[in-house]
Structure formats: C-alpha cells, structure tokens
C-alpha cells in the first residue's frame, strides 16, 4: 500500500474521520483529512519498487527517464502486493517514502495511474479505482486487466546485488 501521510493532518481525530462523498473531486488535496488521503492509494505497490531516477543539476526529474525494476522493498509481500508492516514501515525501512502534500510535487516519477499524481495534475481517478467502483474485487480485476500492480510479479531486494537489480528493469510501470 502507499505510504502514510500523517503530515496532511496530524490531529489524532483526523485518523477516524469519515470519507466525504466524492471528496476527490470536491476538495483540493490540501483539504483532505487523513482517511481521505489514505483512501486515494490504489494499493498497486509501484511506489515500493526499486527505481532508477536521474535528476538534473537543479534536482528536477524527467518522469519519462525513470526506470522501474521489478525489485521491491524488503517489506513487500510479493504475492499480495501489500506492505507487510505498513503502519510501522519506517521503523523497519527508515528511507521508506512518506508521501505528503509537501513532497508530492517532487514525486512526479509516481506511475501515471497514481491517484495522488493524477489529482495533483488536475486529472480524474482511473476508472477502476476503488473510490469509483465501490467493489474491491472489481477494482482488483480491472487493475490486473489494466496491467497495474506488483502482486505476483515482483521479487524482494533481500539478497540481491546492485548488479543483478540493474538487469531487472521493467516496462509495465509508466511514470
């Protein structure tokens, strides 16, 4: 699942706030409560893949030049495509990404189907997103049909050399 964003609203009560109807189309990303921010994640796991990102001298990233591998963080369950320690992942992997509204503009390397990226760019949610279908099974089927997600097609970084990782670039994730 996508990294937590407690920075959006650190108020403890925000974690239990209900989702407002069609919040993704009615409110700016900066106006979302914690539950809404988290609900934007489609659970594809692509953000947990090891990737090669080239930055220019100014730190800018050309999203077309990002190369994803099929190698995931050590916490990823490659069978399900979910993080095995999502709530405490940064205790296990200190450099795990914590997506926030503040760092989102610098993360345009996220996949083109990512709801955070799409909404930031003024686009809508993908048609298969759970917030639109309301049915997790339908969403999973449609995600597979759209070739989205790491479940069943990734390997763990544990025991893998940098050289081997470099040979595992894939083209099924589009920035």
The two tokens of residue 22 are 């069609």
How confident is the model over 2-58, as pLDDT tens digits? 333 333 333 334 467 899 999 999 999 999 999 999 999 999 999 999 999 887 777
Element containing residue 69 per DSSP (H, E): strand 67-72
The two tokens of residue 107 are 């993360």
Rounded distance, CA 130 to CA 52, Å?
A: 29
The two tokens of residue 70 are 């099929």
Rounded distance, CA 74 to CA 83, Å?
A: 9
Rounded distance, CA 107 to CA 27, Å?
A: 21
Rounded distance, CA 151 to CA 80, Å?
A: 5
How confident is the model over 73-129, as pLDDT tens digits? 999 999 999 999 988 998 999 889 889 999 999 898 999 999 999 999 999 999 999
pTM, entire model: 0.84
The three-class DSSP label of residue 155 is strand
């Amino acid at each position: 699942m996508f990294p937590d964003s407690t920075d959006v609203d650190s108020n403890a009560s925000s974690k239990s706030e209900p989702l407002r109807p069609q919040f993704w189309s009615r409110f700016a990303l900066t106006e979302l409560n914690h539950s809404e921010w988290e609900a934007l994640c489609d659970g594809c796991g692509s953000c947990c893949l090891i990737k090669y990102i080239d930055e220019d001298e100014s730190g800018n990233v050309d999203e077309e030049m990002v190369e994803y591998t099929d190698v995931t963080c050590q916490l990823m369950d490659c069978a399900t495509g979910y993080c095995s320690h999502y709530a405490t992942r940064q205790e296990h992997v200190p450099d795990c990404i914590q997506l926030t509204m503040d760092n989102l503009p610098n993360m345009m390397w996220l996949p083109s189907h990512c709801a955070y990226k799409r909404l930031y760019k003024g686009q809508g949610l993908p048609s298969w997103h759970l917030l639109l279908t309301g049915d997790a099974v339908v969403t999973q089927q449609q995600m597979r049909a759209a070739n989205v997600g790491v479940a069943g097609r990734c390997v763990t970084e544990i025991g893998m050399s940098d050289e081997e990782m470099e040979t595992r670039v894939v083209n099924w994730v589009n920035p």
